[in-house]
Amino acid sequence: MSRAVKPQRKALNTVLAWGMGLLIFFPILWTVLTSFKTEAEAIADPPIWFNFSWTLENYFTVQERSNYFRHFWNSVVISVGSTLIGLIIAVPAAWAMAFVPGKRTKDVLMWMLSTKMLPPVGVLVPLYLIFRDLGLLDTRIGLVFVLTMINLPIIIWMLYTYFREIPVDILEAARMDGAGLRDEVVHVLLPMAVPGMASTVLLNIILAWNEAFWTLNLTAAKAAPLTAFIASYSSPEGLFYAKLSAASTMAIAPILIMGWFSQKQLVRGLTFGAVK
């Protein structure tokens, strides 16, 4: 029998939730507002909240100075490409760990996750030299490869968790009906894990979209994504906050829109298997 929640407690929880949400969203709100200000209004002290001269000049200036759509397309190719390749590798790996477990399965999972604890700068020099010798510097293929390797442990961990929630009896029944390994994975396992796979795809696209360290160090102009597009507005002459905010808003807008429309699927996937 569920315990009744007092109205006061419910109201308090609602206020706290809204307060936490607004606190997290405030930097994005401030960035968007600043993008519509002039440079003088952007650095005004005390800050100007809404009573300022709204202008689109910063957006026009940013588009004239940089080819936004080229950077946008690079981000799409890199984030989606690295996620899809990661899935191709991670699905059989997670299947093997979930349904053919060995004594060292947990050790292997922990070892893969431990690679995320390594500071990226620790392998920057050797990776840079490898890319230089192979001709992969400032290429989409090179960035897709790097981001695939970076996010692969997370993809495998998430898929392994979702696959473990699927009853083994269903897969055994498919085998008894004559399903081969390919049919078992493609026609039985994957359709049942769609919510978990959807959240995995969305999360890793976001991670790849926001990756800055490798995109700034391994690209120059041709394959530069939106993270490099934002960084280009930090110059030795100083920070132009209004233009930088406009560039940031243009960079985060696509991923914010995608997250807004897919939030239900993302939450459903992240809670997949949590309620029996």
Give residue 92's identity as a one-letter amino acid code.
P
Give residue 139's identity as a one-letter amino acid code.
T
Report the pLDDT value the prediction gives residue 144, as an integer from 0 to 100. 95
Report the pLDDT value the prediction gives residue 158, as an integer from 0 to 100. 87
pLDDT interval class at 276 (50, 70, 90): very low
pLDDT interval class at 142 (50, 70, 90): very high
Asked whether residue 79 is assigned to any structural domain, the reply reads yes
Asked whether residue 175 is assigned to any structural domain, the reply reads yes
Report the pLDDT value the prediction gives residue 72, as an integer from 0 to 100. 93
Cα separation, 200 vs 93, in Å, equals 15
Write the pLDDT tens digit of every residue in 86-141. Answer: 999 999 888 888 887 677 888 888 888 888 888 888 889 999 999 999 999 999 99
Tokens for 262, please give them: 């897919």
Cα separation, 67 vs 250, in Å, equals 12
Report the pLDDT value the prediction gives residue 79, as an integer from 0 to 100. 94
Report the pLDDT value the prediction gives residue 5, as an integer from 0 to 100. 65
What pTM, to 2 d.p., does this model score? 0.83
* Contact assessment for residue 34 and residue 59, using Cβ atoms and an 8 Å cutoff: no
Residue 205 CB partners (closer than 8 Å, separation 6+): 79, 80, 83, 255, 258
Asked whether residue 9 is assigned to any structural domain, the reply reads no
Asked whether residue 200 is assigned to any structural domain, the reply reads yes
Cα separation, 29 vs 33, in Å, equals 6
Q: What is the CATH number of the domain that holds 105?
A: 1.10.3720.10
Asked whether residue 51 is assigned to any structural domain, the reply reads no
Output the CA–CA distances (angstroms, integers) from residue 216 to 27, 81, 143, 227, 231, in the order listed: 23, 18, 10, 7, 8
Residue 55 CB partners (closer than 8 Å, separation 6+): 36, 37, 38
Report the pLDDT value the prediction gives residue 1, as an integer from 0 to 100. 46
Asked whether residue 19 is assigned to any structural domain, the reply reads no
Q: Running DSSP on this structure, what letter comes out for residue 82?
A: H
Q: What is the mean pLDDT of residues 253-266?
A: 79
User: Domain containing 192: what range?
Assistant: 56-270
Report the pLDDT value the prediction gives residue 240, as an integer from 0 to 100. 81
Q: Where are the alpha helices (DSSP H) in 36-123?
A: 39-42, 57-65, 68-99, 105-114
Asked whether residue 128 is assigned to any structural domain, the reply reads yes
- Tell me how many domains the chain contains: 1
Report the pLDDT value the prediction gives residue 269, as an integer from 0 to 100. 59
Per mean pLDDT, which range of 3-7, 101-105, 192-196, 211-215 is the poorest? 3-7
- 263 vs 28 pLDDT, higher one: 28
Q: What is the mean pLDDT of residues 14-21?
A: 91
Write the pLDDT tens digit of every residue in 31-84. Answer: 999 999 988 888 888 888 888 888 899 999 888 888 889 999 999 999 999 999
Cα–Cα–Cα angle for 233, 237, 248, rounded to 5 degrees: 15
SS3 state of residue 234: strand
Report the pLDDT value the prediction gives residue 19, as an integer from 0 to 100. 92
Output the CA–CA distances (angstroms, integers) from residue 263 to 3, 136, 269, in the order listed: 29, 35, 10
Looking at the chain, how many residues does it have? Answer: 276
Asked whether residue 15 is assigned to any structural domain, the reply reads no
Closest CA to 200 of 112, 96, 270, 273: 270
Q: What's the Rg (C-alpha) of the chain?
A: 23
Q: Running DSSP on this structure, what letter comes out for residue 187?
A: I
Cα separation, 192 vs 163, in Å, equals 9
Write the pLDDT tens digit of every residue in 153-210. Answer: 989 988 998 888 888 888 888 888 888 878 888 888 888 888 788 888 988 999 999 9
The helix (H) or strand (E) run that includes residue 155 is helix 140-164
